[in-house]
Every structure is written in C-alpha cells, then in structure tokens.
Chain A
Amino acid sequence: MVSAYGRRFYATKPELAAHRIEAIGYQVGHQLIERYTMERPRFNDHLEVIKFICKDFWQELFKKQIDNLKTNHKGTFVLQDNNFRWLTRISIDPSSDNNDGSQGSSSEATNLLLYFPCGIIRGALSNLGIPCAVSADSSNLPFCSFMVRIKA
C-alpha cells in the first residue's frame, strides 16, 4: 500500500504521499482503539493512556510491547521499539552509509512506511481525547522510536 502511494499516485510529491498515508493510519488507529478499549474501565490521566498504548495496543498490533518509554513530564513521550516488526525485513542499502544529509532511496521508503504507524498512534490518542503530534525516527533499523508531543 505504501509503495503504491509513494510511487504511483504521488510519484512527484512525496510530501503529499506521506500526508495521505498518515491520514489513513489516523483513521485506522481511530477505529482500532474503539475496539480495543471496549472492555476496559476508563482511563484517569494521560500517563495511563500512553501506558495502555505501549502495552495492550502495541501487543495487539505487533505481538510485543514497547521496549522503552521515556517522558519529560511536560507532555512529550518517546516510545522505543527495539525490533519494530514492520521494518525487520527491510534491506539496508550499503551505499547509503556514506550519506550526510542526502536521502538514500531506502531511507525514503522507510520514512514513508513509518508515517503509517505514526498515524495509527495519533488516531488512537485523539480518539481517547488527547490531541497530539507524532513523529518517528529510524536512524538505526530495526530499532525505531516514536516521539509523541501532546498539544496543550
């Protein structure tokens, strides 16, 4: 799906493809969270919601929990996954090792792929009443970290 959007539909405008993929992830996260929070009692605060995302939600999606959670207690959380399931089979192009600022094609594909889980996290959190912005960082495959910034 990601490659269809990246190469065919928006071949000349990767920013638009990224936005669309993130929007699809948003809707998926929105609907999934409705299903997975059905049986649970209500959450008390933001930290409980993030912990739910790290444990139960991630477990349902990727069959493992988030390995590391960091926060600055001011509304920013970093979720680290040591072995992100969707990136384990991505081939790393050796020629992109000596790039300094220029994007190899493999890292571009990885970035497009990462917009989808960012959207899922954003959709899940906003359906639980927490507007936020999510960005991903994958400098060291398959280790991956997602930074969640809660708005206001």
Chain B
Amino acid sequence: MIACVAVVGHQNNPLYLQSFTGADDALKLHHIVHCSLDVIDERVNNPKRSVITLNESYLGLLYPTESYKVYGYLSNTKVKFLVVTTDLDVKDTDIRSFFRRFHAAYVDAVSNPFHVPGKKIISRIFAARVSGIVKAFAPGTYG
C-alpha cells in the first residue's frame, strides 16, 4: 500500500506531495520525506563503491522505519522522487517501473509552458496520472 509520493526539486524545495492513506497525516509524511532527503544526499556525496555505481538513477531502499519503507530515485536534473510504502515485501522491478512511469508523468507536467520551474506542480492531470499509477501499482505486488 503506497502511503505517499513526493517530488523534491534540486534545492530540496518540495514540488509535489500526495498522500494516499486517507488519514490526515500529511505533516508526518512531510517529516519522513524530509529525513529521506538527507539519506539521498549522503548516498550521492559519499558513494559506497561496493554497492552503488555512480551512474544509477534508481537509489533503492533508503530508510526503513518501523512501519514504512522509503524508496528514492534521482533524475539527471537533481530532481528527487520519493515513495513511502507500507508494504512489507515489494519487488525491486515493480518499484523501478513505478519510478519510470512517475518520471514520465513529471516530465510531461514540467513541459507545460504555464508551469514555473521551481514552483509547486498544480496540474490536475498530473495528479490524476499519479493516482492512476499508484492504483495500478498496488495489485501488481501480489502478482
């Protein structure tokens, strides 16, 4: 079950945060996403030579807490995509394909000439596409 997805710009400014739990815990999710940003910076600046190659966009599992897991993905333009999920076992390939679709939706949203780079993404079509991707993701983990 995906709890929330977030897009953070290259100056760590939030561009998009959407929670799918139904409960009113946006602040807690904000905190979790913020802590994960530190983990991303750590991974990028001190690469562990044995585990991560320098060129990978997909950063993998960042931050397992007691009930959540956070996955990260870094684009070439230093835009970070984060997914907070409550699932216990999630296949790597599923998350990778999720990020690919998420990145494609983000690129389409940013190509909007009325979108100001650096400001939050307010496109409703982007929100609808992201909800669609999240809904398509959940049943796939049991398949």
Closest chain-A Cβ to B62's Cβ sits at a distance in Å of 17
Number of B residues, CB within 8 Å of A:
20
Contacts of B111 in A (CB 8 A): 31, 34-35
What 0/1 pattern do residues 22 to 52 of A give for CB contact below 8 A with B? Answer: 0000010011011101101111100000000
Q: Evaluate contact between A37 and B117: CB separation under 8 angstroms.
A: no
Q: A42-B74, A42-B76, A129-B78 are in contact. Are A34 and B56 (CB under 8 A)?
A: no
Instruction: Indicate if the CB atoms of B77 and A33 lie closer than 8 Å.
Output: yes
Q: Which of B55, B76, B113 sits near A128, CB closer than 8 Å?
A: B76
A34-B107, A34-B110, A35-B107 known; A41-B77 Cβ under 8 A: no
Decide if B57 touches A30 in the complex (CB within 8 Å): no
Q: Chain B nearest CB: distance from A59 CB in Å?
A: 17
Main secondary structure of the interface of A (DSSP, over half): loop
Q: Residue of B at shortest CB range from A52? A: B76
Interface size class of A (residues with CB under 8 A): 10 to 19
Contact check, B110 vs A31: say whether CB atoms are below 8 A apart: yes
Bound: A41/B52 CA distance, A: 12
A-contacting residues, B82-111, CB 8 Å: 103-104, 106-107, 110-111
Task: Using CB atoms and an 8 Å cutoff, list the residues of chain B in contact with chain A.
Answer: 10, 53-57, 74-79, 103-104, 106-107, 110-111, 113, 117
